Structure 1
Amino acid sequence: MNNPASSKGPLLCPRCRKLVSADESRCPYCGLTAPGSRWRHGLGTSLLMDGNRLIRAILVVNVVFYLLTLMLSGRGMHLSANPLAFLAPSSRGLMALGATGTIPIDGYHRWWTLIAASYLHGGLLHILFNMLAFRQLAPFIVQTYGTHRMLAIYTLTGAAGFLLSYLAGVRFTIGASAAICGLIGAALYYGKSRGGLYGQAVYRQVGGWALFIILFGFIVPGINNWAHGGGMVTGILLGLALGYRERKRETAVHRWLGILCFFSTLFVLVWAVFSALVLR
């Protein structure tokens, strides 16, 4: 089968998904340069051009890593009647695939876990709630900031949240909630900055989520409030620094930042699986 980028016939623009000629120098609909270029149809770049595919990929990776931690836990997996601890992987299984905190970083110099920990979860309800929240929030961030900026915000806020919790002395931690709080922070910045009836509505709704997360963190024991707060503040700052579509079009800096975050995450996750299954 011929590579679609090598054909001179029509193809779908990787960014806006509208039909264009493969030899167009610029997409007439969204302005993407060289939409028929071969590199734009690779795995990483095609995911970053399609928000729905990117969101599905993040969801799938989270589920796969959860199942891997259960497999590595073996008999250490918890089958407690407590719904919060049901189907909870063992600390050993989580450690093997990239849990972060002072124990993995100070004890084993595993700094890469600042990224990997966002794809690990401590039980069935943990991953279910996080993925439902991500699935509800991520499409709005993709629409508002674009796929490259969304992935950059998700990756960097998760790492920043876990870095703050490490500096605060949290010994062992996991979960996508720091990165999800980063998306909430970016949405808060958008709503407050945009203003108007729509911006105020976004700010009030997302602000309600933020308030719930803060209260939940103080009521329920074992919640990493440092990671949540660090992710949310970093999301606000990245929203300010990167800008959103209505006020700032996507630039080469945004695209390269998204690509860097994509391949950094890919490398870290591949290394996590390799070190857990081959080097253990």
Structure 2
Amino acid sequence: MKYESILIQNILLDNRYKVIELDSNGEIPTVWAVQRIEYDREIYLIFLNKENIYYRNAYKDMILNNTMYNGTGVEIIYVVVAYKGEEYWRNILADDYELITNVAVIDSQANDIVLNRLENIDVLNDLKLSMRRIDINNGKGKEIYKSSKSTMFLIFVNILVYFVLMFVNVKNGGNPLSMSPKILYMMGANVNINILLLNGQFYRWLFAMFLHGGILHISLNMLALYYVGPLVEKVYGKGKFLIIYFVSGICSSILSSMFLTTVSIGASGAIFGLLGAVLVFAFNMRKFIGKELLKNILFVIGINAVIGLTVSSIDKFGHLGGLIGGVVVSSLFIKKVKQEQIKSQD
């Protein structure tokens, strides 16, 4: 999907806009525009790229010939999209006086406005908000993962611990793909709180976060961490991300230990804490980034809640404890995070 289409979809989350097609029946390339009608004027944003920018006046005429205002009270804005460092627009803008005050050029790869000549500040803010939605929902493609060193470090540690656990399990006659409860207990699995209090083994609340019972268990948890972790790390920052992760994991272990009848292990409690952090962010930023992220995260949490209630082997109290821990801790951070995110849109 082209960047223009993604940008338009995000602009349309604002119900003041509607999309229109500028079609000349094959004479020139068809383009899309968005329209916003106000009490005294119509505002149009025409989205152009290298292939169609030379027909900009024809698109303008299509709009003027069909507007209820007959050309008066109509504001036409050109949104020019450049791909992979293209600079074709520089010469065009230099030669066209009309484009001095009603154009914005966006670098699609950086998802950033590289030239702003818009006098309409309201429309400029709408564009920035739509671009911010792309950042939040898509994480700027692969860039977010490249900068998520804390997430990748946690994944590395979990995998390393699993190989150590697997070695110990095999050495004691066990299956390399499925760990025995005895070995898990020996390596620091979480147990009932009465046993913890009796033996003073509170380290289990931390150690259990890095233990997994089998290849499927660690694969699913690390896949979830790989997708959720970078977003939380980007939004909250590395330090706060680690605090949310570990506090959520410990909260998960604490609540879980109150109901355990066997051992409990896994990073899922900490991961649920990260989901809680995304939930807090999405709720507090819903007016700025739209409600799509909030809906998506509520859906993910809901699906996992249903699975937890229907599959007896899942530590539902561990998941709940992690979620609560993540919501509480991220709520302490969200005011500053929200200010930083809003400032980054200016």
Please list every run of at least 4 consecutive aligned residues from structure 1 whose deviation after the TM superposition is greater than 4 angstroms: none
The partner residue of 2:181 within 70, 73, 91 is 91
Matched, 1:190 2:304: no
The partner residue of 2:258 within 159, 167, 172 is 167
Deviations 1:238-280 (A, max 9, x none): 1111226542559xxxxxxxxxxxxxxxxxxxxxxxxxxxxxx
Alignment of 1:235-246 (within 5 A): 235-243=326-334, 246=337
- Backbone CA RMSD of aligned residues: 2.2
Distance 1:97 1:212, change over 3 A: same
Rounded Cα–Cα distance in structure 1 between residues aligned with 2:287 and 2:203:
41
The partner residue of 1:63 within 149, 156, 159 is 159
- Counterpart in the other structure of 2:190: 100
- Counterpart in the other structure of 1:201: 292
Deviation of 1:220 after TM superposition, in Å, equals: 1.6
Deviation of 1:234 after TM superposition, in Å, equals: 1.4
The TM-score normalised by the length of structure 2 is 0.52
The answer on whether the counterparts of 1:165 and 1:227 sit within 8 Å (CA) in structure 2 is yes
- Counterpart in the other structure of 1:253: none
Higher strand share: 2
The partner residue of 1:77 within 160, 169, 174 is 174
The TM-score normalised by the length of structure 1 is 0.64
Deviation of 1:93 after TM superposition, in Å, equals: 2.0
Higher RCO structure (Cα 8 Å, ≥6 apart): 1
- Counterpart in the other structure of 2:81: none
Deviations 1:158-212 (A, max 9, x none): 1001101112345310000000000000101111111126341111111111011
Alignment of 1:11-50 (within 5 A): none
Distance 1:206 1:151, change over 3 A: same
Alignment of 1:201-240 (within 5 A): 201-240=292-331
Rounded Cα–Cα distance in structure 2 between residues aligned with 1:199 and 1:246:
17
The answer on whether the counterparts of 1:70 and 1:93 sit within 8 Å (CA) in structure 2 is no
Distance 1:126 1:184, change over 3 A: same
Matched position secondary structure for 2:202: coil
Rounded Cα–Cα distance in structure 1 between residues aligned with 2:275 and 2:335:
14
Distance 1:197 1:111, change over 3 A: same
Deviation of 1:52 after TM superposition, in Å, equals: 2.2
Deviations 1:59-111 (A, max 9, x none): 111011111111111254337xxxxxxx1111222122210121762453210
Contiguous gaps of at least 5 residues in structure 1: 1-49, 80-86, 251-280
- Counterpart in the other structure of 1:155: 246
Contiguous gaps of at least 5 residues in structure 2: 1-145, 342-346
The answer on whether the counterparts of 2:151 and 2:233 sit within 8 Å (CA) in structure 1 is no
What letter corresponds to residue 232 of structure 1 in structure 2? L
What letter corresponds to residue 180 of structure 2 in structure 1? S
- What is the aligned-residue identity percentage? 26
Matched, 1:113 2:204: yes
Deviation of 1:116 after TM superposition, in Å, equals: 1.1
The answer on whether the counterparts of 2:148 and 2:234 sit within 8 Å (CA) in structure 1 is no
The answer on whether the counterparts of 1:183 and 1:235 sit within 8 Å (CA) in structure 2 is yes
Count of aligned positions? 194
Matched position secondary structure for 1:152: helix
